[in-house]
């Protein structure tokens, strides 16, 4: 069997992470490489496939903007870990902790007395000249004096074997979640090697970080509630946000899930407002509060800064911490370390020059070939440029740009990145060298910074590439730090769940989830109801039988009452019924059309996708693909309407039979019932108000749209008559399409919701239900029953109105929480 190392080239002028100059490998790699050599080639192939499949099964993705392959791309993890020398790691991690501490002190100074600037240790342009410095945050002293809770540094190893910092991440560093995910997969891929090599585990780092936030948060004696604030599913690292939230046990929230009252941050849950004590922020500070920061941000929490100013919530990281991400600061840190710590900076950065200083500018322009040019501020849109790649015109243009605005550029020494072995998918048993860089992480605790004993290793996508960046489509590696001591046996992931873990429903269902389920219920029901009415109308409009045609005006009126047919504009020529009906089916510009309703249904459903089974989601997906274009004739329209109805019926089945009956589900059902109540009441009331003739002609389609024609025939075996039709569609509590059934069910579900969620219950429906129950049906036996019809129509209109009132009230009480003011009481 040929050795794995046989074809692995040793590149000149590069440090190789695994290989020594002669034929051997570095000592920390030896046991791992020995094992690999013993494994048959198909075993390694199988394990590589296992890694890929695990990524897919766990749904690990990294969203890449403007990626032609689609927004979500699978995360890429190499089969081989990067193995680090434990002694060198010790030094590195001690130095990283010092650096984190130093950066925290710098933040405290910049957002406090600004003596570093006054004393000439930091050029004012680097701070005052960037949008990253948040003036509204100056003077805010965070809990425990800690601004920087989560810190990451990007490092590269030079040919001499030393690690250098390339950049600091202080806004809301990404990567810890991916690192953890890499570890979970790789430790399962090589369980024996992982154990025998005594690789340090990561759990203690996360626990320390989690406890750090909880212990520092201002809790006023309450049990601390921390949340993870994400920009939402479109963010590139959303997977990581969701993963970390689950792992740390923090609710994953978007800005709209939080609200500030009385300078205090609350999470809106179905059970009411719950105070939030700490916010693990993965949303850039600029977007966090539209009132005081970027006013066009729709992702933030209005008033958040005021709550922070009042010291009522911990932000991790503090708002404004992104100011340190400027690469121009690197060159000033050694002197600042001497000043603030009285000791030398232990972790050096790669040599860098801020062009805003005259001598630096001249140096940079005369040494371009050895340098890398970067923008001074992360807010500038510019890719890193390698000086040696600049030729001819582009070189001249770059020099002009730098001379015109020297303060906007930083130059760094070009570090030839070290190489590490990567498993090649294309060749059997082959490993190839690729450039690698490390992202290391530190977290604040009340006792100082703790450094993750592991890291995210990023790998350049192609041989000879100099940039390692996930945004550019790179690969990642797990990073193994060996220890000579015992490996602590802590894990935050339970290997096996016990009875205590058997939670039946989430207690902290964010209001947003309940709200979207509620609207999903309402829109699904509206789609179904609309489809039924349209089908009744479309089958009649093309009928040649005069008897059938005579029933059309009644249906058309019903469609108007439901808003399916647009009210004619003034001066507009009257359109024929067929045209109006086709528009009611498929015109997306008309907000009452079936197509518009489907569109809203998909919108609400996509917000709660993670709560729907895959079959349920597929049914919704099919539904959203219907009616995306216009329908040309009645036949096409009928076909489409039928398809919509079939899908809607499937959805109703999923709602009753496929979802766990938690608090969110309760709102889905209430949404469905409220909408059906409104529709059924509108249809019946419309008919009751019509002339006696039209009333008679409407009974048939009423039964059709109420999906009760089969029941009627089975019960009465004769043509539809007013009394039995009304009984079936309005009064019969056993018919799931009747008004009485909706009222009964709503009362029950609303009662259940209010009991479970500890809220008062909307009462409008109770009286209506009683009145309906007491309605004297014998009054419809008379030949002339106009008065009874009128009275019942009134009652039904009240039902319709009540359904909208209840909807508004639920909206306020459970979702928007604006109705709570009085109950929370005592503020002025």
Partner 1 sequence: MSFVRYHIRHDTRYEYDQPVGESRQMLRLTPRELPWQHCLSHRLAVDPQPTRSNDFVDDFGNKVRTLHLQRDHDALVIRAESWVEVTPREWPELNKGLNWERVRSTLAYQAGKRFPPELLEANRFLFESRHVRVKREFAEYAHDCFPEGEAMLVGVERLMNRIFDEFTFDPEATTVSTPVTEVFEKRRGVCQDFAHFMLSCLRSIGLAGRYMSGYLLTRPPAGKPRLIGADATHAWVAVYCPESGWIDFDPTNNVKPDMEHITLGWGRDFADVSPLRGVLLGGGSHDPEIKVTVVPEGEFDEVYAEVEDAPAWLPGLSPEPEDD
Task: Name the residue nearer to partner 1 (CB basis): 719 or 824.
Answer: 824
Tell me if residue 457 falls in helix, strand or coil: strand
Distance CA 183, CA 177 (A): 10
Sign of the dihedral through C-alpha 266, 267, 273, 276: negative
Segments in 464-612 forming alpha helices (H):
511-541, 546-549, 552-561, 577-586, 594-606
| Rounded least distance, CB 820 to partner 1, Å | 9
Distance CA 175, CA 107 (A): 22
Tell me if residue 370 falls in helix, strand or coil: helix
| Rounded least distance, CB 127 to partner 1, Å | 9
Task: Name the residue nearer to partner 1 (CB basis): 364 or 739.
Answer: 364
| Rounded least distance, CB 713 to partner 1, Å | 47
Residues that bind partner 1 (CB under 8 A): 114, 117-121, 123-125, 128-129, 131, 135-136, 138-139, 261-263, 290-292, 295, 302-303, 306, 309, 356-357, 404-405, 812, 816, 818, 821, 827-828
| Rounded least distance, CB 396 to partner 1, Å | 16
Exposed, middle or buried: residue 548 (CB in 10 Å: 0-12, 13-18, 19+)? middle
Distance CA 518, CA 524 (A): 10
- What are the tokens at 34? 């020995």
Distance CA 284, CA 279 (A): 13
Task: Name the residue nearer to partner 1 (CB basis): 331 or 514.
Answer: 331
Distance CA 659, CA 605 (A): 14
Task: Name the residue nearer to partner 1 (CB basis): 200 or 326.
Answer: 326
Q: Are 684 and 729 in contact (CB under 8 A)?
A: yes
| Rounded least distance, CB 601 to partner 1, Å | 22
Distance CA 79, CA 476 (A): 10
| Rounded least distance, CB 103 to partner 1, Å | 21
Tell me if residue 450 falls in helix, strand or coil: strand
Task: Name the residue nearer to partner 1 (CB basis): 211 or 357.
Answer: 357
Q: Are 418 and 181 in contact (CB under 8 A)?
A: no
Task: Name the residue nearer to partner 1 (CB basis): 404 or 504.
Answer: 404
Task: For residue 46, say if its preceding peptide bond is cis, omega within 30 degrees of 0.
Answer: no
Task: Name the residue nearer to partner 1 (CB basis): 490 or 818.
Answer: 818
Provide the residue count of the chain: 828
Distance CA 287, CA 379 (A): 13
Q: Which residues of 579-595 are buried (b: 16+ CB within 10 A; e: fewer)?
A: ebbbbbbbbeebebbbb
Task: Name the residue nearer to partner 1 (CB basis): 29 or 111.
Answer: 111
Tokens 């203690």 correspond to what residue? 204
| Rounded least distance, CB 394 to partner 1, Å | 20
In whole angstroms, how far apart are CA 815 and each of 149, 172, 809, 820?
Answer: 32, 29, 9, 11
Tokens 């989601």 correspond to what residue? 617
Exposed, middle or buried: residue 229 (CB in 10 Å: 0-12, 13-18, 19+)? buried
Task: Name the residue nearer to partner 1 (CB basis): 519 or 741.
Answer: 519
Task: Name the residue nearer to partner 1 (CB basis): 5 or 816.
Answer: 816
Task: Name the residue nearer to partner 1 (CB basis): 349 or 438.
Answer: 349
| Rounded least distance, CB 688 to partner 1, Å | 32
Segments in 276-391 forming alpha helices (H):
304-309, 333-341, 358-366
Task: Name the residue nearer to partner 1 (CB basis): 20 or 824.
Answer: 824
Task: Name the residue nearer to partner 1 (CB basis): 356 or 454.
Answer: 356
| Rounded least distance, CB 114 to partner 1, Å | 7
| Rounded least distance, CB 241 to partner 1, Å | 24
- What are the tokens at 650? 């499937």
Beta bridge partners of 269: 272, 510
Nearest residue to 765 via CA among 689, 685, 702, 678: 678
| Rounded least distance, CB 308 to partner 1, Å | 13
Tokens 């459970």 correspond to what residue? 814
| Rounded least distance, CB 294 to partner 1, Å | 9
Task: Name the residue nearer to partner 1 (CB basis): 301 or 679.
Answer: 301
Sequence-distant (6+) residues with CB within 8 A of 426 are none
| Rounded least distance, CB 86 to partner 1, Å | 40
In whole angstroms, how far apart are CA 669 and each of 270, 524, 672?
Answer: 15, 11, 5
| Rounded least distance, CB 139 to partner 1, Å | 6
In whole angstroms, how far apart are CA 459 and each of 183, 238, 472?
Answer: 16, 21, 11
| Rounded least distance, CB 547 to partner 1, Å | 46
Task: Name the residue nearer to partner 1 (CB basis): 207 or 339.
Answer: 339
| Rounded least distance, CB 113 to partner 1, Å | 10
Task: Name the residue nearer to partner 1 (CB basis): 112 or 145.
Answer: 112
| Rounded least distance, CB 136 to partner 1, Å | 7
Tell me if residue 403 falls in helix, strand or coil: helix
Task: Name the residue nearer to partner 1 (CB basis): 199 or 408.
Answer: 408
Tokens 């290989």 correspond to what residue? 19
Between the CA atoms of 643, 645, 647 and 648, what dihedral angle is there, to the nearest 10 degrees?
160
Task: Name the residue nearer to partner 1 (CB basis): 20 or 298.
Answer: 298
| Rounded least distance, CB 400 to partner 1, Å | 10
Exposed, middle or buried: residue 614 (CB in 10 Å: 0-12, 13-18, 19+)? exposed
Angle, CA of 175, 178 and 183, to the nearest 5°:
125
Separate counts of helices (H) and strands (E) for the chain: 28, 21
Backbone angles phi, psi at 761, to 5 degrees: -110, 140
Q: Are 319 and 137 in contact (CB under 8 A)?
A: yes
């Amino acid at each position: 069997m040929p050795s794995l190392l046989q074809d692995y080239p040793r590149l000149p002028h590069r440090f190789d992470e695994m290989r020594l100059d002669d034929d051997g490998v570095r000592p920390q790699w030896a046991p791992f490489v020995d094992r690999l050599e013993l494994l048959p080639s198909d075993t390694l192939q199988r394990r590589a496939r296992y890694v890929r499949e695990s990524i897919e099964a766990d749904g690990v993705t990294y969203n890449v903007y403007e990626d032609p392959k689609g927004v979500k791309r699978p995360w890429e993890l190499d089969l081989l870990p990067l193995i680090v020398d434990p002694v060198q790691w010790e030094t590195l991690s001690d130095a990283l902790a010092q650096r984190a501490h130093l950066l925290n002190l710098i933040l405290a100074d910049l957002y406090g007395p600004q003596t570093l600037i006054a004393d000439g240790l930091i050029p004012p342009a680097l701070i005052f000249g960037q949008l990253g410095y948040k003036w509204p945050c100056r003077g805010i002293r965070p809990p425990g004096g800690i601004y920087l809770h989560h810190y990451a540094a990007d490092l590269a190893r030079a040919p001499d074997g030393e690690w250098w910092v390339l950049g600091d991440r202080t806004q809301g560093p990404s990567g810890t979640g991916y690192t953890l995910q890499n570890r979970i997969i790789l430790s399962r891929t090589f369980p024996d090697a992982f154990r025998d090599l005594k690789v340090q585990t990561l759990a203690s780092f996360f626990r320390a970080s989690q406890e750090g936030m909880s212990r520092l948060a201002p809790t006023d004696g309450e049990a601390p509630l921390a949340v993870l604030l994400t920009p939402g599913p479109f963010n590139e690292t959303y997977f990581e946000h969701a993963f970390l939230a689950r792992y740390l046990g923090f609710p994953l929230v978007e800005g709209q899930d939080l609200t500030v009252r009385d300078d205090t941050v609350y999470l809106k849950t179905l059970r009411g407002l719950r105070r939030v004590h700490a916010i693990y922020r993965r949303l850039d500070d600029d977007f966090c509060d539209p009132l005081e920061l970027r006013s066009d941000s729709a992702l933030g929490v209005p008033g958040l800064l005021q709550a922070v100013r009042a010291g009522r919530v911990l932000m991790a990281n503090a708002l404004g911490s992104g100011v340190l991400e400027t690469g121009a600061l690197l060159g000033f840190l050694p002197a600042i370390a001497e000043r603030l710590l009285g000791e030398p900076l232990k972790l050096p950065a790669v040599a860098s020059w801020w062009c805003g200083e005259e001598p630096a500018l001249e140096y940079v322009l005369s040494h371009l070939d050895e340098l890398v040019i970067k923008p001074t501020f992360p807010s500038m849109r510019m890719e890193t440029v390698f000086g040696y790649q600049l030729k001819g015109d582009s070189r001249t243009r770059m020099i002009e740009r730098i001379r015109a605005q020297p303060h906007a550029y930083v130059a760094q020494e070009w570090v030839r990145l070290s190489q590490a072995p990567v498993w090649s998918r294309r060749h059997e048993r082959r490993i190839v060298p690729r450039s690698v860089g490390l992202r290391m992480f530190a977290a604040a605790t009340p006792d100082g910074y703790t450094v993750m004993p592991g890291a995210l290793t990023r790998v350049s996508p192609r041989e000879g590439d100099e940039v390692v960046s996930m945004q550019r489509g790179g690969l990642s590696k797990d990073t193994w730090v060996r220890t000579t001591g015992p490996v602590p046996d802590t894990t935050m992931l339970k290997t096996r769940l016990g009875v205590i873990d058997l939670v039946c429903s989430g207690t902290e269902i964010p209001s947003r989830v309940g709200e979207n389920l509620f609207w999903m219920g309402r829109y699904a029901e509206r789609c179904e109801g609309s489809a039924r009415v349209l089908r009744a109308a479309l089958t009649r409009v093309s009928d040649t039988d005069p008897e059938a045609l005579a029933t059309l005006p009644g249906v058309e009126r019903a469609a108007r009452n439901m808003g399916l047919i647009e009210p004619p504009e003034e001066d507009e020529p009257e359109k024929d019924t067929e045209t109006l009906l086709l528009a009611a089916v498929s015109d997306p510009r008309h907000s009452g059309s079936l197509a518009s309703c489907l569109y809203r249904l998909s919108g609400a459903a996509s917000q709660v996708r993670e709560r729907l089974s895959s079959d349920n989601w597929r049914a919704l997906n099919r539904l959203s693909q219907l009616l995306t274009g216009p329908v040309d004739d009645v036949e096409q329209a009928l076909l489409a309407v039928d398809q919509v109805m079939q899908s809607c019926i499937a959805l109703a089945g999923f709602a009753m039979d496929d979802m766990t009956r938690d608090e969110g589900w309760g709102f889905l059902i209430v949404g469905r019932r409220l909408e059906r109540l409104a529709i059924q009441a509108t249809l019946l009331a419309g008919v009751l108000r019509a002339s006696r003739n039209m009333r008679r002609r409407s009974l048939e389609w009423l039964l059709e749209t109420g999906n009760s024609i089969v029941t009627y025939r089975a019960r009465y075996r004769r043509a539809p008559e007013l009394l039995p039709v009304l009984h079936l569609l309005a009064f019969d509590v056993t018919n799931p399409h009747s008004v009485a059934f909706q009222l009964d069910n709503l009362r029950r579900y609303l009662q259940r919701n209010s009991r479970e969620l500890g809220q008062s219950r909307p009462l409008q429906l109770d009286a209506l239900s009683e009145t309906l129950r007491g309605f004297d049906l014998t009054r419809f036996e008379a030949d002339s029953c106009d008065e009874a019809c009128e009275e019942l129509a009134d009652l039904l209109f009240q039902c319709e109105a009540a359904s909208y009132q209840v909807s508004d009230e639920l909206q306020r009480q459970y979702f928007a929480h604006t109705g709570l003011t009085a109950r929370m009481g005592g503020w002025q």
